[in-house]
Structure 1
Amino acid sequence: MVNADLQHRWVTAFQRNIGNPILRRLPSQTLLETTGRVSGQARQTPIGGARRGDSFWFVSEFGERSQYIRNIRAHDRVRVRLGGRWYSGTAHLLPEDDAKARMRELPKYNSAVVGAFGTDLLTVRVDLDSDRA
């Protein structure tokens, strides 16, 4: 098994330099927008997950080590782009949730990737506001 720190560095470098810049440009890609905890700037991260009623659910593959999770800890107000439309909401980190079981309820391809590369799974629920952003 690859060392978790090495795996985290490799996957994060790939996402930051190759994957995320490409995915952010796709109009159908779901994006999570957080506020940078240090910069105060908007930060957009491609994610996969599913809307269930007035909530959007996803699983972070590196949990507390993910920059967007650290941003959520500092500022829980976020925006989610779903189907090309932006929605404001409040993010909740759910360490007590069974992230592996949750992934079985989410889109299969994204869950397979998160499960294959993730080392510290963490469920996140975004309660969407009734009005779009």
Structure 2
Amino acid sequence: MSSNAESKYRAVTAFQRRIANPVTRRLPLQTLLETTGRVSGRPRRTPVGGRRVGDSFWLVSEFGERSQYVRNIKADPRVRVRLRGRWHTGTAHLLPDDDPVARLRVLPRMNSMAVRALGSGQGLLTIRVDLDA
């Protein structure tokens, strides 16, 4: 990763961790992804954008496997997703062979713009959560 990309990653993740995520987690209709902390074992809630399609929820991680929630998914793929204020359990799947740029075209526009603007470009990763019935 170039020094510019590394600087961008550090700045964006610091902003998200300290300012954006604590505020948006409190919004009642904000979509949240809850993973289990791979070290702590505690629930970790991350504001995300994406779209439910049938029994699946799709999203794109702007920093791919560097994202903490992706690392948590790799350790334990059982997750919960809060959609429109209601929690759903499911199993997350990392899809490195999916085209994340094409996927962003069919996800909510504002979130997709933010992922493209804040993300690292090559590090994008598609995630599908298969929701339990």
TM range, smaller chain = over 0.9
- AA aligned opposite 2:92: A
- Amino acid of the structure 1 residue aligned with 2:75: A
After TM superposition, the runs of 4+ consecutive aligned structure 1 residues lying more than 3 A away are none
Say whether 1:122 aligns with 2:132: no
TM-score (norm 1): 0.96
Instruction: Report the CA distance between 1:2 and its aligned residue.
Output: 7.2
Deviations 1:44-96 (A, max 9, x none): 00000000000000000000100000000000000000000000000000000
Does residue 1:24 correspond to 2:25, yes or no?
yes
Structure 2 SS opposite 1:97: coil
Return the alpha-carbon distance in structure 1 between the equivalents of residues 68 and 3 of structure 2.
Answer: 21
Deviations 1:87-128, CA, capped at 9 Å, x for gaps: 000000000000000000000000000001111100000000
Q: Give the Cα separation in 2 of the matches to 1:64 and 1:115.
A: 16
TM-score, scaled to structure 2: 0.96
The corresponding residue for 2:62 is 61
CA RMSD of aligned residues (A): 1.0
Which ranges in structure 2 are unaligned for 5 or more consecutive residues?
Answer: none
Counting aligned pairs with the same residue, the percent is 68
Q: How many residues align?
A: 130
Gaps in structure 1 of 5+ consecutive residues: none
1:6 counterpart residue number: 7
Deviations 1:26-57 (A, max 9, x none): 00000000000000000000000000000000
